[in-house]
Amino acid sequence: MKALGRHVLAEYFDCDKELLNNPEKLEDFMQQAAKKANAHIISSSFRTFEPFGVSGVIIVAESHLAIHTWPEYGFAAVDFFTCGDTSDPWKAHEFLKTVLKPSHTEEREVLRGVLEMEEFHFKPPLIQQKQTNNSAAYH
């Protein structure tokens, strides 16, 4: 059996607390992680919460990367979800580990869309998108 996508769920412990509260750096790191995974970035959105914490998502043609931080605990929860056969969510995870520098991580992979098919026909990545079209269908 094959799957439409791979979803890596990762937890990062004992990270730099200031870094986990910096939306600009986290957005840059997540964009770099998407590129390391060979994913095609469509858009991103990051928000800081009061009194602290950041949530952000990178929308990629292949699906998404998301991060949620708890700086008060030095903890981040991260999702790397990629569809198709040209991107690798584990490469995004490995990159993010190098920049967040957790003392340890826990991760697992969940196959999404496991279907009893011999072959999937993935769509080519959507590289350019018109400004007026907010729905980039890839999946």
Radius of gyration (Cα) for the chain, nearest Å? 15
Q: Of the residues 40, 83, 87, 93, which is catalytic?
A: 83
Which of 44, 55, 68, 139 is the catalytic position?
68
Taking a C-beta distance cutoff of 8 angstroms, is the pair 110, 9 a contact? yes
Respond yes or no: is residue 45 known to be catalytic: no
Whether residue 63 lies in the annotated active site: yes
Residue 64: active-site member: no
Candidates 7, 63, 87, 93; catalytic one: 63
Question: Which residues are catalytic, by number?
Answer: 63, 68, 83
